[in-house]
Structure 1
Amino acid sequence: MRSATPADDRHGGEGGRLRAEGLTLGYDDSVVARDLGVDVPDGSFTVIIGPNACGKSTLLKALARMLKPSAGAVYLDGKAITHYRSREVARRLGLLPQSSLAPGGITVGDLVARGRYPHQKLLRQWSSQDEAVVVEAMRRTGVEDLSPRLVDELSGGQRQRVWLAMVLAQQTPILLLDEPTTFLDIAHQIEVMELCADLNADEGHTLVAVLHDLNQACRYATNLVVLAPGGRIAAQGDPGEIVTAELIADVFGLRCRIVADPETGTPMVVPAARRRGKSEDDGAVAVHEHAVL
């Protein structure tokens, strides 16, 4: 793969390449968030977490230019994202939406190949480089054997990995992922998260992902954005520095303990549990390896 951040694409101003200032977001007459500001650090694996209906996916849509803010603006490489043509945005920023619909009758290989569309020009059509990129994207997501199959025939988990392969084939320096582990069993969830971590650490991609699993967010994020009800940012930064029992109680309404993940040393949320027939204050705690919030 070519370099994820070519020199002529680097943002020379203050802040990261992708940031939002003073956003008011919502749908029709319903406001989800007001005066929301986020600066995505370059080269980070930024994960957005928060309770249901707090605006996580809404924020991601605004960052991807899929949702126009009522106020404020999203900036990409120092310029309002609305000032770019769609193809320009697609060469800088890739998006894996929460749910995607493939055209009827399309094969896996053809769908992944559509990730190369932003790189096609009048005088530059399909090339051997495009083919190599598509093959590698399918290999990395474990769908190469599915290439001739129709997307409509696949399971939900298989389709999710195919869509991720298409985003990888786009070869953008910034990747936005809305619940990338949806429909996946635990083993494939970890595979996808490890792949994302590799893209960030080894290849220099900046990632922004919405996750529901707080322990996965703490394990893989280098920058955590915690949204509270009403769309306010409750905390942002290194998970090891900001994740506390008080923060989880405030944002999620969950009593818990924070312990060190025995594999990574990152924060792990252990929800408080009450033994049947005993009071909540007896101090009993059930340890859950996979806490989904």
Structure 2
Amino acid sequence: MNDSHPARLRADRVRLGYKGNTISDQLSVDIPDEKFTVIIGPNACGKSTLLRALARLLTPEAGTVLLDDKPVTDYPAKELARRVGLLPQSSTAPDGIRVADLVARGRYPHQTMLRQWSRADEEAVAAAMAATGVTELSARPVEQLSGGQRQRVWISMVLAQQTPIILLDEPTTYLDIAYQIQLLDLCRSLNRDSGRTVVAVLHDLNHAFRYADHLIAMRDGRVVACGEPAEIVTAELVREVFALRCRIVADPETGTPLVIPLAENAAQVH
């Protein structure tokens, strides 16, 4: 890992699971600071579980999640929410809430007895909605929106939080291809232009390989490989992680690894 980008956020030998069902054990992961990290892996391999632990929504049964060398459990809730923002896999909005009001909830961690709603909050909300293309929806009830529109509103709320670390669990869900690319371009610009650390769980491998500075490949609750996509992505890695036979070629637009599934994969399904 590049020493100029040490890991502010990391999991140290954690055991993660639900109701006695262990998903990961002795799992250690470093999230390099000021990088765009993408986590990939098959369904139920522990990607979302790891993200929930990094955001303190799930307490490890053993081991520790650390932020700036301090256990995340030691931070007051509002302080942690000013440092780490999370878009979970699924979210439910209160009945009847308008888009602008939901996005404004991202500013809650910044409110105190001495600091109430301010012009800075208004500007943060407006900028977040503009970045995700939902400004024109600001007065609409969230429940009346399509799945893709709602997803962009939830992303707006996380952006309005203005945290230096952003965790996104399958952020491209429900989005059509144009908005998927727009969102991933936005994530990259947040990383490169404002130095934010962005972590996303993605299912589309070619999106992951094109956008990630740092890639974490998981299977069965463990990390199979991590590093820059150009250095670690091989046909053998894709086969090991996803049981998919493929060719890896250079993306003609970016030169990043591009997955071409072999035709025999489709033949075996029929």
Pick the TM interval, shorter chain: over 0.9
Q: Give 1:3's aligned residue.
A: none
Corresponding residue for 2:48? Answer: 57
Q: Does 1:169 align with 2:160?
A: yes
Q: Secondary structure at the match of 2:26?
A: strand
Residue 39 of structure 2: aligned partner: 48
Q: Secondary structure at the match of 1:201?
A: helix
The residue matched to 2:226 in structure 1 has which SS? strand
1:182 aligns with 2:173: yes
Structure 1-normalised TM-score?
0.88
Secondary structure, in 3 states, of the residue corresponding to 1:274?
helix
Could you tell me which residue of structure 2 aligns to residue 73 of structure 1? 64
| Distance across 2 between alignment mates of 1:266 and 1:76 | 31
Partner Cα distance (2:253, 2:72) in 1: 39
Q: State the partner residue of 1:11.
A: none
The equivalent position to 2:229 in structure 1, one of 222, 239, 246, is: 239
Q: CA deviation at 1:77?
A: 1.2
Percent identity over the alignment is 64
**2:243 maps to amino acid:** G
**Aligned-residue offset at 1:275:** 9.9
Q: Counterparts of 1:204 and 1:19 in 2: how far apart (Å)? A: 18
Count of aligned pairs between the two proteins: 264
* Alignment partner, residue 262 of structure 1: 252
Distance 1:197 1:64 in 2: 21
User: 1:105-124 counterparts in 2 under 5 A?
Assistant: 105-124=96-115
* Maintained 8 Å contact 2:245/2:265: no
2:241 is aligned to: 251
What does residue 208 of structure 2 align with? 217
Q: How far, CA to CA, are the matches of 1:223 and 1:249 in structure 2?
A: 20
Alignment-derived partner of residue 82 in structure 1:
73
Q: TM-score, normalised by structure 2?
A: 0.95
Are residues 1:97 and 2:88 paired?
Answer: yes
CA contact (8 A) 2:105 2:157 kept: yes
User: In 2 relative to 1, CA 258–129 (structure 1 residues): closer, same or farther, beyond 3 Å?
Assistant: same
> Counterpart amino acid of 1:243?
V
Decide whether the 8 Å contact of 2:35 with 2:198 is kept in 1. yes
1:33 matched to 2:24? The reply is yes
Per the TM alignment, residue 274 of structure 1 is displaced from its structure 2 partner at its CA by 3.4
Q: In the alignment, is the contact (CA less than 8 A) between 2:38 and 2:216 conserved in 1?
A: yes
More helix by share: 2
Work out whether 1:274 is the aligned partner of 2:253. no
Question: Cα offset for 1:29?
Answer: 1.8
**Distance across 2 between alignment mates of 1:275 and 1:213:** 17
Deviations 1:156-195, CA, capped at 9 Å, x for gaps: 0000000000000000000000000000111111111111
Q: 1:204 to 1:275 in 2, by over 3 A?
A: closer
The Cα shift of 1:15 comes to: 4.0
How far apart in 2 are the matches of 1:59 and 1:21?
12
Runs of 4 or more, structure 1, over 6 Å off, are none
Kindly indicate whether the alpha-carbon contact (under 8 Å) linking 2:244 and 2:265 is maintained by their aligned counterparts in 1. Answer: no
Q: How does 1:195-214 map to 2 (within 5 A)?
A: 195-214=186-205
Structure of higher CA gyration radius: 1
Give secondary structure in 2 for the equivalent of 1:69: coil
What amino acid is the match of 1:69? Answer: P
1:145 aligns with 2:145: no
SS at match of 1:216: helix
Contact 2:235 2:247 in 1 (8 A): yes
Separation (CA, whole Å) in 1 of partners of 2:127 and 2:186:
13
Deviations 1:222-255 (A, max 9, x none): 0000001x21111000000000001111111111
Secondary structure of 1:46 counterpart: strand
